[in-house]
Amino acid sequence: MNYLYSLLFLFIACSAPIQNPQSEASYIIKNVNVIDVRDGSIGQEMDVIIADGKISSIIKSDDFETNAQIIDGTDKYLVPGLTEMHAHIPSPQWGRDNTNETLFLFLSNGVTTIRGMLGHPAHLELREKAANNEILSPRIFTSSPSVNGNTVKSVEEAIEKVTKYKNDGYDFLKIHPGLTREVFDQVEATAKEAGIGFSGHVPVDVGIRHAIKSGYGTIDHVDGFLEGLVPSEFDVNPNENGFFGFNFSHLADTGMIDELVALTKSHEVWVVPTQSLFVRWFSPVPPEKTVELDPDFKYMPKSTVDQWVRSKRSLIQSPDFSIEKYIIFTDIRQQMIKALHENGHGLLLGSDAPQVFNVPGFSIHHELKSVVDAGISPLEAIQTGTINPAKFFGMEGKFGEVIEGASADLILLDQNPLEDLKNLRNPVGVMVRGQWLDKATIDQRLAEIAERAKDI
């Protein structure tokens, strides 16, 4: 009898329909070339199957019946969504609510994850809504409100604020200039005790070497590095460093770069260059010319662009500014960025948007170009905005790659970005956590944002 039951069970099991990965799919990107951002290899003519906001499987393209929405990937290229590691999310104190527009500007350019670098309580709610797909938004990580010399003036205040920001649920602390060495050290100690990281600027009183040794998650803007190249015999006043060390450019000893870079590697400190900020805001190009030549600005309120023009004009008309010094300054930064990439702990992609002349989403392409101009290959530049952020957040396999099990954060392109990073612009479509935005949808929404910006 047991033998008969066994035969019956085997017959039923073999007769049951086999569940296939296409059956529960919501989207299938068919016949597409899939780029592996780890090594640049390309899987040709693949079907990428999306279910429940994730990549459920990647198989060789074939014909099969499905109820899923088909996205034609023939002769196209698929890459993971990009991460903007130095973003700014609108806050109530900005005086206008353009949060949805800002988030869409990121998405329209394939930025599917952002790290907000000036936190506000409203961003905590926004982060959860994005995670639950209650709003159309990139994945959000958010800093605390600014920790600086005006907001944290004593060791007691350091303990209080750091503990509060940890309990409030912020992902990390944002360090700004002005902290004294004593207060910074207390911020560091309390942060480590509470289990919250910190990133951002390097206060002058702290200095780059002490900052690196303290365990920053990221140092942004390559802040403090140029000052760290000035030999001690010059006995400079550190408070006269100017814009990110610009005033000390002629004193910098580039022979000291290797030592600083090695320090970042040994202490596992990532660097977010935001080089496009310096190319676009601080370059000697007249601000009116920049606006005239760049169509990105139509997506920003005119009042904001006018403010950016005034800021740039004031900067380059300063008595301390000269084209010769800017050339030296830029060369040192490029040397540092390349060395940090080759021999440091690594680079993360970030442009500081929306900041002066950096339009959200669009600026990430300027940043990619700036990184390549420093001597980094297109593949390596893409890695700074894909696999590297996933490593930084301890989320390898969760996003930053086109692999099975990862979040369906994807950019579909007409041409191979490894051949030319310009091919990342104007995507055929963007997917964020399984939500598909085709080109027509993106273009329509961008046109609406541009029209609204005229009246603000």
Please, what is the average pLDDT of the chain? 93
DSSP letter, residue 48:
E
Specify the range with the lowest mean pLDDT, choosing from 93-102, 261-270, 435-444.
Answer: 93-102
The pLDDT of residue 232 is 94
Judge whether 428 lies within some domain. no
The residue among 209, 177, 183, 214 whose CA lies nearest residue 198 is 214
The pLDDT of residue 93 is 66
Is the model's pLDDT at 291 over the cut of 80? Answer: yes
Residue-number span of the structural domain to which 197 is assigned? 84-397
The pLDDT of residue 25 is 82
H helix and E strand count, the chain = 15, 15
The residue among 102, 11, 84 whose CA lies nearest residue 299 is 102
The answer for residues whose C-beta is within 8 angstroms of residue 11's C-beta and 6 or more apart is none
Angle, CA 359 vertex, CA 121 and CA 90 arms, to 5°: 15
Confidence of residue 97 (pLDDT cuts 50, 70, 90): confident
The pLDDT of residue 66 is 84
The residue among 451, 228, 221 whose CA lies nearest residue 350 is 221
**Chain position carrying tokens 């750091």:** 162
pLDDT tens digits along 396-405: 999 999 999 9
Is the model's pLDDT at 164 over the cut of 60? Answer: yes
Confidence of residue 9 (pLDDT cuts 50, 70, 90): very low
- Pairing mode, strands 410-413 and 429-432: antiparallel
**Ranges of H-type helices in 2-133:** 2-15, 99-108, 121-131
Is the model's pLDDT at 20 over the cut of 50? Answer: no
For residues 156-160, average pLDDT: 98
The pLDDT of residue 4 is 36
The pLDDT of residue 380 is 98
Confidence of residue 19 (pLDDT cuts 50, 70, 90): very low
pLDDT tens digits along 141-155: 999 999 999 999 999
How many independent structural domains does the chain possess? 1
Confidence of residue 96 (pLDDT cuts 50, 70, 90): low
pLDDT tens digits along 206-248: 999 999 999 999 999 999 999 999 999 999 999 999 999 999 9
CATH number at residue 311: 3.20.20.140
For residues 78-91, average pLDDT: 96
- Residue 28: C-alpha distances to residues 65, 407, 434 (Å): 11, 14, 11
Judge whether 423 lies within some domain. no
Q: Which two tokens stand for residue 244?
A: 């990110």
Q: Which two tokens stand for residue 260?
A: 């600083």
3-state helix/strand/coil string of 409-430: CEEEECCCCCCCHHHHCCCCEE
pLDDT tens digits along 309-327: 999 999 999 999 999 999 9
- Let me know if 365 is exposed, middle or buried by CB neighbors in 10 A (0-12, 13-18, 19+): buried
Reduced DSSP (H G I as helix, E B as strand, rest coil) percent helix, strand, coil of the chain, to 5: 45, 20, 35
DSSP labels, 324-346: HHHHHHHHHHHHHHHHHHHHSS-
DSSP labels, 141-197: EEEEEEESTTT--SHHHHHHHHHHHHHHT-SEEEE-TT--HHHHHHHHHHHHHHT-E
H/E run at residue 246? none
For residues 284-308, average pLDDT: 91
pLDDT tens digits along 46-81: 999 999 999 999 999 988 878 899 999 999 999 999
pLDDT tens digits along 342-368: 999 999 999 999 989 999 999 999 999
Residue 244, amino acid: F
**Ranges of H-type helices in 300-405:** 302-316, 323-343, 363-373, 378-384, 387-392
H/E run at residue 35? strand 27-35
Judge whether 25 lies within some domain. no
Is the model's pLDDT at 2 over the cut of 70? Answer: no
The pLDDT of residue 17 is 33
The pLDDT of residue 22 is 53
Judge whether 282 lies within some domain. yes
Judge whether 440 lies within some domain. no
The pLDDT of residue 91 is 86
Q: Which two tokens stand for residue 176?
A: 């700004």
The pLDDT of residue 14 is 38
The answer for residues whose C-beta is within 8 angstroms of residue 342's C-beta and 6 or more apart is none
Judge whether 174 lies within some domain. yes
Judge whether 430 lies within some domain. no
Judge whether 409 lies within some domain. no
Contact in structure between 352 and 281 (CB atoms under 8 Å): no
